[in-house]
Amino acid sequence: DGDVYKYYADGEWKNSSSGKSVAIINPTTRKTQYKVQACTQEEVNKVMDSAKTAQKSWAKTPLWKRAELLHKAAAILKEHKAPIAECLVKEIAKPAKDAVTEVVRSGDLVSYTAEEGVRILGEGKFLVSDSFPGNQRTKYCLSSKIPLGVILAIPPFNYPVNLAVSKIAPALIAGNSLVLKPPTQGAVSALHMVHCFHLAGFPKGLISCVTGKGSEIGDFLTMHPGVNCISFTGGDTGIAISKKAGMIPLQMELGGKDACIVLEDADLDLVAANIIKGGFSYSGQRCTAVKVILVMESVADVLVEKVKEKVAKLTVGAPEDDCDITPVVSESSANFIEGLVKDAKEKGAKFCQEYKRDGNLIWPLLLDNVRPDMRIAWEEPFGPVLPVIRINSVEEGIHHCNASNFGLQGCVFTKDVNKAILISDAMETGTVQINSAPARGPDHFPFQGLKDSGIGSQGVTNSINMMTKMKTTVINLP
Ligand code: G3P
């Protein structure tokens, strides 16, 4: 009906002076579902100004009061799970049940962050000088953590709510203000989530949400002198941001090519179940999805057969019907996935299912006998297509994993825990899961990527720490 969702600034919902909007295409119908404001650079400047002002008094607000407001926001968020989940279904085609889970998980994350914050930020450090050579006990050093200032949060389309609150909550509990630039697909879900923070009664200007075209406000935001820290989750854009950003801390998570190494003694039923969950949940559109299977030749036939049986049972269709496999986020994403599939076909991969596509919907596909000369051996499809590379030694598997430019997570399946730990040590990734598929959660676990997969570490505690700075005061005794 032409209605355009307002953006959020200074504690109010506003129309942009640009008079322009950005359309959000429903991945299932491929028609415009919602429209959001196309904010201008001038509006971004205003948001930055009020974020700076609001932060000054927020930093002086007692920690327990900040926590109280976050707990309130968490409860409101959970109460609003149904309408927010509905937006996730329409904007990013997330299966209905997973969409609800995302919102509930987000509420829990906000509460946990509030609790963790009062504990770790309520503690400081006290040092005395005479432990360092040449010093008498004449200096007392008091350290505590102070906020960085204004945090810019840029979450991706696949978790527009959860990966937004995983930045908002630590920023706020630590005394920062926050400017959110949601992904276009997922912007309306994010605006609804922000509304829950609005209802909780945070001070004006402390949180704002600007929507718009990346081409107009993207670089402007990330290079803005008012930003004191960027927390970004997404794709290659992160690398570009890291080159352009000023001298500020960056927290980044930029995708992965998570390997699943399967040894000869592995429980193959467990492996198959985890490959399905790890490779095909949300149609493979997760940074932590299993993106390449490296299986020992001697057990490969049996494993591929077991996975094939399970793939045949996956339901394919609309997110409203809670199907396992739903349309991927955009037509360009579907085209990219198709490119990888065609390349694998030309180079002789074995198709375990027929390749099938209807609009943005791609049927789940397992590609066996993938070789290193195929693009899919290295590139991230972000879709329901999974390559199998047969290996003749564990070293070969580790070598493939470490030759990747990514290093997010990985997993290894074996009953020999000692071997698993040695393999984990050898894999150049931020996390290795033993006998389970890669995953970020539970959300208080550390989460980080090596190489092109990211900068810094996330997880509740690490995010709070990354959004603070040490401040020390030294008392000099006579
Ligand atoms: O794709 C984003 C990444 O953070 C994945 O999270 O919970 O699906 O492992 P999760």
State pLDDT tens for residues 182-203.
999 999 999 999 999 999 999 9
Confidence of residue 2 (pLDDT cuts 50, 70, 90): low
Whether the Cβ atoms of residue 177 and residue 190 lie closer than 8 Å to each other:
no
Count of other CB atoms within 10 angstroms of residue 160? 29
Would you report the helix, strand and coil content of the chain in percent, each value rounded to 5?
40, 25, 35
Is the Cβ atom of 286 under 6 angstroms away from ligand 1? yes
Is the Cβ atom of 145 under 6 angstroms away from ligand 1? no
- Give the count of alpha carbons within 13 A of 373, CB side only: 5
Question: For position 1, what pLDDT does the model report?
Answer: 45
Note if the bond before 442 is cis, omega within 30 degrees: yes
User: Which of 253, 338, 395, 428 is flagged as catalytic?
Assistant: 253
Confidence of residue 73 (pLDDT cuts 50, 70, 90): very high
Q: Name the helix (H) or strand (E) containing 145.
A: strand 139-147
CA dihedral for 334, 318, 310, 98, sign (positive or negative): positive
Residue 225 structure tokens = 């002198």
Is the Cβ atom of 285 under 6 angstroms away from ligand 1? no
Reply yes or no on whether the pLDDT at 285 is more than 50.
yes
Is the Cβ atom of 464 under 6 angstroms away from ligand 1? no
Cα gap 95→100, rounded to integer Å: 9
Reply yes or no on whether the pLDDT at 50 is more than 90.
yes
Q: Which ligand 1 atom is nearest residue 439's CA? A: 9
What's the whole-number mean pLDDT along residues 308-323? Answer: 98
β-bridge partners, 385: 365
Judging by DSSP bridges, how do beta strands 32-37 and 21-25 pair with one another?
Answer: antiparallel
Q: Atom 2 of ligand 1 has which residue's CA nearest to it?
A: 287
Q: Which ligand 1 atom is nearest residue 447's CA? A: 4
Q: Atom 3 of ligand 1 has which residue's CA nearest to it?
A: 287
Distance 288 CA to ligand 1 centre (A): 5
Whether the Cβ atoms of residue 168 and residue 207 lie closer than 8 Å to each other:
yes
Distance 141 CA to ligand 1 centre (A): 40
Q: Atom 6 of ligand 1 has which residue's CA nearest to it?
A: 440
Is the Cβ atom of 291 under 6 angstroms away from ligand 1? no
Amino acid letter, residue 365: L
Residue 192 structure tokens = 């609804």
Q: Atom 7 of ligand 1 has which residue's CA nearest to it?
A: 440
Q: Which ligand 1 atom is nearest residue 458's CA? A: 4
What's the whole-number mean pLDDT along residues 66-90? Answer: 98
Q: Ligand 1 pocket test: which of 166, 283, 286, 463 has the largest number of ligand atoms within 8 Å of its C-beta? A: 286
456: alpha, beta or left, given left = phi > 0 and alpha = psi -120 to 50? left
Place of tokens 């739903």: 326
Residues in Cβ contact with 108 at an 8 Å cutoff, skipping those fewer than 6 apart: 74, 443
Coil, helix or strand for 327?
coil
What's the whole-number mean pLDDT along residues 129-141? Answer: 98
Cα gap 231→281, rounded to integer Å: 25
Angle formed at CA 190 by CA 188 and CA 195, multiple of 5 degrees: 95
Is the Cβ atom of 90 under 6 angstroms away from ligand 1? no
pLDDT tens for each residue of 368-401 = 999 999 999 999 999 999 999 999 999 999 999 9
Cα gap 17→25, rounded to integer Å: 23
β-bridge partners, 127: 141
Place of tokens 């539970």: 442
**Exposure letters 7-19 (e unless 16+ CB within 10 A, then b):** bbbbbeebebebe
Is the Cβ atom of 206 under 6 angstroms away from ligand 1? no
Whether the Cβ atoms of residue 281 and residue 334 lie closer than 8 Å to each other:
no
- What percentage of residues in the chain have a pLDDT greater than 70? 100
| Rg of the chain taking only CA atoms, in angstroms | 24
Query: Is 379 one of the catalytic residues?
Result: no
> Is this model's pTM higher than 0.95 or not?
yes
What's the whole-number mean pLDDT along residues 196-225? Answer: 97
Q: Provide the total of helices (H) and of strands (E) in the chain, helices listed first.
A: 14, 26
Q: Phi first, then psi: give them for residue 288, nearest 5 degrees.
A: -90, 10
Place of tokens 């709510």: 161
Confidence of residue 331 (pLDDT cuts 50, 70, 90): very high
Is the Cβ atom of 105 under 6 angstroms away from ligand 1? no
Residues in Cβ contact with 63 at an 8 Å cutoff, skipping those fewer than 6 apart: 117, 118, 121, 122, 173
Return the closest-CA partner of residue 429 out of 276, 261, 238, 234. Answer: 261
Residue 173: alpha-carbon gap to chain centroid: 20
Return the closest-CA partner of residue 255 out of 463, 434, 450, 458. Answer: 450
Query: To the nearest whole number, what is the mean pLDDT of the chain?
Result: 98
